[in-house]
Chains A and B, each alone.
Chain A
């Protein structure tokens, strides 16, 4: 226990002793987090809006003031058959906005029980084009559905775009990961170089390799953790700002950075990569 306390004490001494390098590293970690958050997660956001996966497929049904049980039944059948996760019901005005933005498919439902209302459904493009086309086919063959507005060309373009986005997002992530590793290594190499005398003294007085290395690794992990937290707050602030600016006609762009699993993944990476970098660099201390 006292050994651990002494290591933590050494962590603190190191932070004070190398404050300039650590400060630079800390600011960099925050910037990387925010930049990756905006680029990486915005891309996920686009993906979610435009090309949701089959288990996230959404059908949006609109109708007038009154509820329509027969339509709800029909949509529910689709929901179960194609494992549609979410069924959203909008008012006609909201539906119009969503229809024009998020989907290449428009469906006109013919309600035989109440011909006053027409119904519109939006199906988000699934990752499986074959399955998607099967849904279209089935919808078209349903006698209750008056029309399926389906732009095949658009579907193909968006499908290709999805692949491009996949590569872009992976590339963005890999570039940031590489930069993060590079900066971590350079920072800790600089710290070790400026601490050469101190390190030699530590060796002379009988410090174990763990006692010498752990403060660097603990500091990198701690800074990564705090940087992720601050980065998260900054992302939230940016999101609020962008929402106010962009979630207005004619853009209606809905910015959402906070997909739980992605944020956790990004935070873990922001902590883990500096740890790996510092671990690797300090391995060479002898």
Chain B
């Protein structure tokens, strides 16, 4: 099995290296011996038909699902080699936004957003400072004390993003983040993602909306087709 050294990652500035990824969902193959690399600081759209395995790939990249075979090097963390109880180290670098938000409904907006900082052992003062910034960026200041169960879909989506970006992760994985949003909110959300990307965060966004890549300059498109992932031509980007 091919060893991936850190030096190689530095040379190529690849933050994600996937080699010979194979994954089966029950007996159905989702990926067959597929390899790809994602450059540091890039904005990648993951497209494919419904059921093609976009969400599964994101979950594999986030360490939630162990791949059937293959090696994944994500920002220096090699999935498959380390024990599962070490996965939190990966998840501190790689944050994920789910389609159904995955918020704790019983607690307030600010408590939800601040939660990852508590897990990291960040000081209260620093927590407050970062919270204020995130609330301002996502325009959530007015509803920061509201319980998440009372929020609309769009607001929940922003809270989920807030919780993701507050730790300043090196990679953000987003699974159909615009799925439940109208055009206006979609535009706003993409603007936020673009800003994050401008600050050096690598973003991988799974979507079936082929209009989204057009909103991000210099973005790349990875297409899931015939159990393989391939970069498609740049005509979707402006």
Indicate whether A and B interact: yes
The reply to whether B104 and A203 form a contact with Cβ atoms under 8 Å apart is no
> With a CB–CB cut-off of 8 A, which chain B residues contact A198?
104
Q: Of A6, A17, A204, A286, which contacts B121 at CB under 8 A?
A: A6
Give chain A nearest CB distance to B166 CB in angstroms. Answer: 10
Is B122 interfacial (CB 8 A cutoff)? Answer: yes
> Is B116's beta carbon under 8 Å from chain A?
yes
The distance from the CB of B6 to the nearest CB of chain A, in whole angstroms, is 21
Specify the chain B residue showing the minimal Cβ separation from A17.
B106
A 195-206 binary contact with B (CB < 8 Å = 1; else 0): 001101111111
Of residues 39 to 80 in B, which have CB atoms within 8 Å of A's CB atoms? 62, 64
Q: Which parts of A91-126 form the interface with B (CB within 8 Å)?
A: none
A259–B238 Cα distance when bound, in Å, is 83
Residues of A within 8 A of B104 (CB): 197-198, 201
Asked if B206 is at the interface (CB within 8 A of a chain A CB), the reply is: no
B88 touches A209 (CB 8 A): yes
Q: How far is the CA of A108 from the CA of B123 in the complex (A)?
A: 78
CB atoms of B91 and A6 under 8 A apart: no
| Pair A201/B88 contact, Cβ less than 8 Å | no
Q: Are B119 and A202 in contact (CB under 8 A)?
A: yes
Contacts of B107 in A (CB 8 A): 13
User: Counting CB contacts under 8 A, is A56 at the interface?
Assistant: no
Given A2-B123, A10-B118, CB of A205 within 8 Å of CB of B163: yes
Closest-CB distance, B191 to chain A (whole angstroms): 24
Q: How far is the CA of A211 from the CA of B119 in the complex (A)?
A: 7
Contact residues on B (Cβ < 8 Å of other chain), bracket: 20 to 34
Known: A3-B121, A201-B103. A209 touches B85 (CB 8 A): yes
Cα(A210)–Cα(B23), bound, Å: 31
A204-B119 contact given A198-B104, A209-B85, A286-B84, CB 8 Å threshold: no
**CB of A208 within 8 A of chain B?**
yes
Which A residues are in CB contact (< 8 Å) with B121? 2-3, 6
Interface residues of B in 78-112 (CB under 8 A from A): 84-85, 87-89, 91-92, 95-96, 102-104, 106-107
Is A6 within 8 A of B119, CB to CB?
yes
CA A152 to CA B159, docked complex, whole Å: 83
Does A233 make an interface contact (CB < 8 A)?
no
A-B contact count (CB 8 A): 58
**Complex alpha-carbon distance, A23 and B192, angstroms:** 44
Considering the chains assembled together, what is the distance between the CA atoms of A125 and B97 in angstroms?
74
Q: Are A206 and B92 in contact (CB under 8 A)?
A: yes
Do A207 and B119 contact each other (CB < 8 Å), given the known contacts A2-B124, A286-B84?
yes
Once the chains are docked, how many angstroms separate the CA of A54 from the CA of B87? Answer: 60
Distance (Å) between the CB of A19 and the closest chain B CB? 12
CB distance from A195 to the nearest CB of B (A): 10
Chain A residues with Cβ below 8 Å from B102 are 197, 200-201, 204
Contact (Cβ within 8 A) A206 B91: yes
CA distance A209 to B89 in the complex (A): 11
Q: Is A9 an interface residue (CB 8 A)?
A: yes
Closest residue of chain B to A211 (Cβ to Cβ) is B119
Q: Which residues of B contact A286 (CB under 8 A)?
A: 84-85
List A contacts of B84 (CB < 8 A).
286
Contact of B207 with A by CB under 8 A? no
- C-alpha gap A5/B119 in the complex (Å): 11
Asked whether B215 is an interface residue with its Cβ less than 8 Å from the other chain, the reply is no
Count chain B CB atoms within 10 A of each CB in A2, A205, A209, A286 and give the residue with the most: A205
- Among B62, B84, B95, B120, the most chain A Cβ lie within 10 Å of the Cβ of B120
Measured CA separation A205–B62 after assembly (Å): 10
Please, which residues of chain B bring their CB within 8 A of the CB of A207? 88, 116, 119
* B85 engages A9 (CB within 8 Å): no
**B122: A residues at CB distance < 8 A:** 2, 6
Does B232 sit within 8 A of A, measured CB to CB? no
State whether B124 touches A205 (Cβ < 8 A). no
Shortest Cβ distance from A120 into chain B, in angstroms? Answer: 71
Give Cα A5 to B88, complex, Å: 20
Measured in the bound complex, the distance between the Cα atoms of B123 and A3 in whole Å is: 8
> B91 contacts A203, CB within 8 Å?
yes
How would residues 240 to 263 of chain A score, 1 for a CB under 8 Å from any chain B CB and 0 otherwise? 000000000000000000000000
Question: B159 CB to closest chain A CB, in angstroms?
Answer: 12
User: B118–A206 contact, CB under 8 A?
Assistant: no
Let me know if B103 and A206 touch, CB within 8 A: no
A-B contact pairs, 18 of them (CB 8 A): A3-B121, A10-B118, A198-B104, A200-B102, A201-B102, A201-B103, A201-B115, A203-B91, A204-B62, A204-B64, A205-B95, A205-B167, A206-B92, A206-B116, A206-B119, A207-B116, A211-B119, A286-B85
The 9 closest A-B pairs by CB, nearest first: A3-B121, A206-B91, A207-B119, A206-B92, A205-B116, A6-B118, A2-B123, A208-B88, A206-B88
